[in-house]
Amino acid sequence: MIMDVAVEFEIIIHQFKKLTDAYREAIKETGISESEFWVWYTLIAVDGEYTKRDISSIWSISRQRVDAIVKRMVDTDCAFLASESPADPEYIHLTDLGREYGERIVKPIYDIEKKVIASLPLKDCMACNAVMCRYIHAFSEEIYDAREKGQI
């Protein structure tokens, strides 16, 4: 039984690698780096306001890399940074030029995501989410325990 679970998990990891490769191939077509794509993706496709720190955390992109990408966006009049007060974090806001550019890059891939997700049975999507949530929770707990015990 344990061997079956290990084999299944290897298959899942392999599938995630294949998915990552598919995104990588699609992103190459945009002419920008993967990191830059995920910054644009967040600002175009994901609801909400984001700071550079938020984006760095969401995608595990170094803060320096996100800073450089956002600086280039600001320098090319695609975005500006604003905060409620000097003590508050600066949120990234797209200009009309930035929104137009970002949509041209992100929308084709985002539309493909939506099309594919819509074609899958809801129960399959829910099952996948449930398994991943359980795995991530259990893995995080095990990592925490291993740290506490000085094992890692």
Model confidence at 2: pLDDT above 70? no
Average pLDDT of 105-127?
Answer: 96
Whether the per-residue pLDDT at 99 is higher than 70: the answer is: yes
Q: Return the percent helix, strand and coil in the chain, to nearest 5.
A: 75, 5, 20
Average pLDDT for 8-13: 87
Report the predicted TM-score, pTM, of the whole model to 2 decimal places: 0.86
48 residue type, one letter = G
What's the rounded Cα separation, in Å, for the pair 147 and 152? 5
What does the alpha-carbon distance between residue 40 and residue 17 come to, in Å, rounded to a whole number? 22
Looking at residue 1, what is its pLDDT? 57
Q: Write out pLDDT tens, residues 62-86.
A: 999 999 999 999 999 999 999 988 8
- How high is the mean pLDDT of the chain? 94
